[in-house]
Amino acid sequence: MPDLEDQLTALAGAIEWPTTPRLRVSLPARRGGLGWGRPLAYAAAAAVLIVAVLLAYTPTRDAIAAWVNLHLTINRVQQVPTPSPRPSAALGERLGLGTRTTLNQAQARLAWQVGVPSMLGGPDEVYLQQPPTGFGPGHRSTRPGRRDLLPEDGGQ
Amino acid sequence: MEGRPADDSDLIARAQRGDSAAYEEIVHRYQQIAFRTAYVVTGSAADAEDAAQEGFVKAYRALDRFRAGAELRPWLLRIVANEARNRLRSAGRRQRLELRLTEGFRPGDAAPSPEAVAVASDERRRLLEMVNALSQEDRLVIASRYFLELSGEETAAALGIPEGTVKSRLSRALARLRAQVEEAPLA
C-alpha cells in the first residue's frame, strides 16, 4: 500500500475545483509608480525653490518687479525712527480745561460751592479756568473717572 | 527575450514602475492558485473570486513594499488568503470546505506517477471522505499542502500561521488521518 502522503499527493489531480474565473482587476493609480504625478511634484517644488531664491536676492527681486511692471520700492533702513515723545502737559490742560489744581484750591478761589457726589469719591483731577475779568465767577472741571461734575446748584 | 515569458522579478520591476500590462501578466499567471487558495479558506467560489480580485488590487497598491529578490507567489497568496479570512470573518460565517472528486478522473490524466496509478478510484473517494471528516484545521493544512501543492512557506502564508506551526499541525493532521486509514484500510 502506498504511503499516505503519496496517496494524498496523487489525489491532488482528482480534486474538483470550481472553475477559476478570469479575474478583472481594475488597477488603481499607484502613488509609488513613476507616472506623471511624482515628476510634476518634483518640478513644482523645484520651481518654488528657484522663485524663493530669486526673491531673496534684492537685485533680482527688483528686476523681476520691474519686469512684471510692479512699481515697488523697498528701502532698507538701518535704524527705524523713534516715535516722537508725548506732550508733557496734563490731558485736561491740553484739552483747554484750565489749569490743573486740587479740589480745595479750586474751592478757595470760587465763590460758589463745588458739588461732588459722595458715592463717586474725590475727583482724579481738577482743572480751574477763571473767566476773563468782568464775567461770572468762573467754572471748574473735574475728572472723576472721566465724568464732569456740575456745580451744586446743578449748573443753574 | 521575445517569446520567452518574463520572470517574476522582471514583471514586478515593471509593475513597480507603473506598467499595468506587467501586473496583468502577474494576475493571469497566479489567478488560479490565488482563487483556489481563497476557495480553501472560504469554502465558497463566490467569496473566493471576490477575495482573489480584491487581494490582487491590494497587492498592486502594496508593490512598493515588496522586497526585491523575495518570492512573489507566497507574498501574493498571503494577501489573498488574508482577504479571504477577512471576508469570512466579516460575514460571520464558519468555513466548511467540502472537497469532491472530479468525475471520471484517471490518475494517468493529470500526473502519471506510479503512486497516482496505484490509487484506485474507490480508494480515492474513501480517502477524500476521511479528509473531509477531519477537523477544519486539519483539513485546511492537508488541502493546502497536498491538494494545492503549496510549499511550507506558502501554506503558512495561506493559513496565516508560522511555518513551524504548519509542520507541527500537518504532522498531527497526518497522524489522525493515518489512524482513520488504519481503522478502515483503503486496500
Structural domain spans, chain B: 8-91, 107-183
Query: Strand, coil or helix: what is A135?
Result: coil
Instruction: Give yes or no for a contact between B87 and B51, defined as CB atoms under 8 angstroms apart.
Output: yes
CATH number given to B107-183: 1.10.10.10
Return the pLDDT at B84. 92
The answer on pLDDT for B25 being more than 50 is: yes
A156 is a domain residue: no
The answer on pLDDT for B78 being more than 90 is: yes
How many angstroms separate the CA atoms of B23 and B17, rounded?
10
How many angstroms separate the CA atoms of B3 and A119, rounded?
107
Contact criterion met (CB < 8 Å) for B119 and A32: no
The nearest CA of chain B is from the CA of A49 a distance in Å of 27
Return the pLDDT at A29. 66
Scanning every residue of chain A, which has its alpha carbon at the shortest distance from the alpha carbon of B21? A27
Instruction: Give yes or no for a contact between A156 and A137, defined as CB atoms under 8 angstroms apart.
Output: no
Query: Strand, coil or helix: what is A100?
Result: strand
Q: What is the pLDDT of residues B29-69, one digit of tens each?
A: 999 999 999 999 988 899 999 999 999 999 998 988 888 88
CA-CA-CA-CA torsion sign (A100, A104, A107, A109): negative
pLDDT band at A137 (very low <50, low <70, confident <90, very high): low
Q: What is the pLDDT of residues A53-89, one digit of tens each?
A: 888 887 888 788 888 877 767 677 888 878 777 777 7
Residue A129, H or E segment = strand A126-129
Number of structural domains (chain A) is 2
Contact criterion met (CB < 8 Å) for A28 and B16: no
Return the pLDDT at B138. 92
Full domain range(s) for residue A120: 91-142
User: Residue B1 corresponds to which cell in the numbers above?
Assistant: 527575450
pLDDT band at A136 (very low <50, low <70, confident <90, very high): low
The nearest CA of chain A is from the CA of B110 a distance in Å of 6
The nearest CA of chain B is from the CA of A7 a distance in Å of 7
How many angstroms separate the CA atoms of A146 and A96, rounded?
15
Fold classification of B8-91 (topology level): Rna Polymerase Sigma Factor; Chain: A (1.10.1740)
Return the pLDDT at A70. 76
Which chain A residues are closer than 8 Å to B25 by Cβ?
none
**Other beta carbons within 10 Å of B102:** 14
The answer on pLDDT for A140 being more than 70 is: no
The answer on pLDDT for B15 being more than 70 is: yes
Contact criterion met (CB < 8 Å) for B127 and A15: no
A48 is a domain residue: yes
Instruction: Give yes or no for a contact between B170 and B89, defined as CB atoms under 8 angstroms apart.
Output: no
Return the pLDDT at B99. 82
The whole-model pTM stands at 0.58
Scanning every residue of chain B, which has its alpha carbon at the shortest distance from the alpha carbon of A20? B32
SS3 content of chain B, % helix, strand, coil (to 5): 70, 0, 25
ipTM: 0.78
How many angstroms separate the CA atoms of B120 and B104, rounded?
12
Return the pLDDT at B35. 95
How many angstroms separate the CA atoms of A2 and B118, rounded?
7
A151 is a domain residue: no
A54 is a domain residue: yes
Residue type, A149: L
